[in-house]
A and B are shown apart, each in its own frame.
Chain A
Amino acid sequence: EAEVAQSPRYKITEKSQAVAFWCDPISGHATLYWYRQILGQGPELLVQFQDESVVDDSQLPKDRFSAERLKGVDSTLKIQPAELGDSAMYLCASSLGQTGVDEQFFGPGTRLTVL
């Protein structure tokens, strides 16, 4: 069964360091999402891609976060510099096409701890 892949699964870093997360969506899925989930809360959308284009990055802290999906397939989310408040689960999801119609499928997530 096709799955969304993410790496690393766990990341521990010190504040002010740079971190990067990778996501490989289900093959053929045009839409890719990055979410952040703080413990005890539901995920919040950080950025949404349609193919290689950013559709929504209104909640992405652009002073320190960046995301790219250069060839419209896999994607990288970067944080530089990391802050203590960035400790959270970072989830990647993909869907076949547009939101509002298609089911989103989630990867296993990357647990980030900033010391």
Chain B
Amino acid sequence: KQEVTQIPAALSVPEGENLVLNCSFTDSAIYNLQWFRQDPGKGLTSLLLIQSSQREQTSGRLNASLDKSSGRSTLYIAASQPGDSATYLCAVDSWGKLQFGAGTQVVVTP
């Protein structure tokens, strides 16, 4: 059974600092990996999707890498802003089903 872990569970950084969020998964037989953002009490906003054949994906200040062999993905957010404060979840698509981590709650302080 696929298990997805996100460490740390919570993170606080000062504005301007780069954010590094980690996601690990136990089964490397995946189709893709997706990163989401969730604001309190709201739905999920898709940030990046990395296909299993890709090593990384970039969108603006966001960059996500994927290392299937080691079962890891990292989301980098450059020059963090208070508006980046949210919970970030990774989800792995394996066997046709998305398995989510519990998320990393990020607070960016002005």
Contact = CB atoms under 8 A, between A and B. Distances in A.
A69 interface: no
Contacts, number: 58
B59 to A, nearest CB: 12
Interface in A20-68: 33, 40-45, 48, 55-56
A56 B98 CA distance: 12
Interface stretch (A11-19, A74-82, A100-108): A100-108
B97 A99 contact: yes
A91 B36 CA distance: 13
Interface in B8-36: 31-32, 34, 36
B46 interface: yes
Given A42-B89, A43-B44, A91-B44, A104 B96 contact: no
Contacts of B31: 99-101
Interface of A: 4, 6, 33, 40-45, 48, 55-56, 89, 91, 93, 98-101, 103-109, 111
